[in-house]
Amino acid sequence: MLTLYQFEDCPCCKTVRQKLSDMEMTYISVCVSPQHVERGAVRRVSGQSQVPVLVDGDTVLTDEQDIIPYLEGNYARGGARV
């Protein structure tokens, strides 16, 4: 199961959410604080406080410019692994 760490007003997070929606992907959304100091959960999974962060099993991606190509290369529409 994919897990996306994000917050609603983040434009980069919105880009990833839109891609997940366009691909009809099922994922868990973890809403975090806009304040970096309040993102302990993000730091625990990624080692940094930036969002978006996508976790796919043992794979952790920390930037929308990495997340989008990863989704396109590893998943087909509807969430099937390629």
> What integer pLDDT is reported at residue 68 of this predicted model?
98
> What integer pLDDT is reported at residue 40 of this predicted model?
97
pTM metric for this prediction: 0.94
Q: What is the largest CA-CA distance in the chain?
A: 37
Q: What tokens were used for 69?
A: 């190509």
> What integer pLDDT is reported at residue 8 of this predicted model?
95
C-beta of residue 55 within 8 angstroms of C-beta of residue 2: yes
Q: Mean pLDDT per 10-residue run, the chain (82 residues)?
A: 96 98 96 96 97 98 97 89 84
> What integer pLDDT is reported at residue 72 of this predicted model?
96
Total Cβ atoms within 10 A of residue 65: 10
